[in-house]
Amino acid sequence: MIVRRAGPDDAEGLTELGEAVGAEPEGWLVTTNGWRNVSDERRYLRAIRRYPNAAVFVADDGGNIVGRLSVARDQHPASRHVADLGIMVAASHRRQGVGTALLHAAVEWARKADVNKLELHVFPHNTGAIKLYGKFGFVQEGYRRAHYRRGDEFTDAILMAYEL
């Protein structure tokens, strides 16, 4: 398993991964109406290839995409040192260090991009992810009530951050 920057050719694998994780009944992700389609994903990956403000990393297990981490810098001039991230690992590959390896890639990217704070939102019921982030060094900065709308329901979210 290697972690590397994603390219347009990863669009199919990333779409499959997003659909599979998004369909898990626990509802880990914010999106409830399916993942973006392959051509939109490819377009996005092509657009950010040389873009200094965002990156997508993949965990590649012999050609299979088994993990994804997306990171994007805050666009406001006063918070350009902050970037937001999202992560997912294929159910078949969890608890093998893939999530941790992806977070290390995000930290490395942040250093080069002059970002010194990474932040993320996680649902309170996602105790596994909260453990991963805490173990890595993220701390809770806030609790946001009814912050996301998922279908007909509003869901709370925990805001966590990691300072480099």
Binding site for ligand COA (CB under 6 A): 21, 28, 87-89, 94-100, 122, 126, 128-129, 131-132, 135
Nearest distance from residue 156's CB to ligand COA, in Å?
Answer: 13
Q: How far apart are CA 129 and CA 144, in angstroms?
A: 17
| Shortest Å, Cβ 50 to ligand COA | 27
Structure tokens belonging to residue 103: 């977070």
Contact criterion met (CB below 8 Å) for 131 and 89:
no
Quote the CA–CA distance of 145 and 114 in Å, as a whole number: 31
Cβ of residue 48: shortest distance to ligand COA, in angstroms?
20
Between 46 and 135, name the residue whose CB sits nearer to ligand COA.
135
Q: Which is nearer to ligand COA, 110 or 129 (CB)?
A: 129
Task: Answer yes or no: are the C-beta atoms of 118 and 85 closer than 8 Å.
Answer: yes
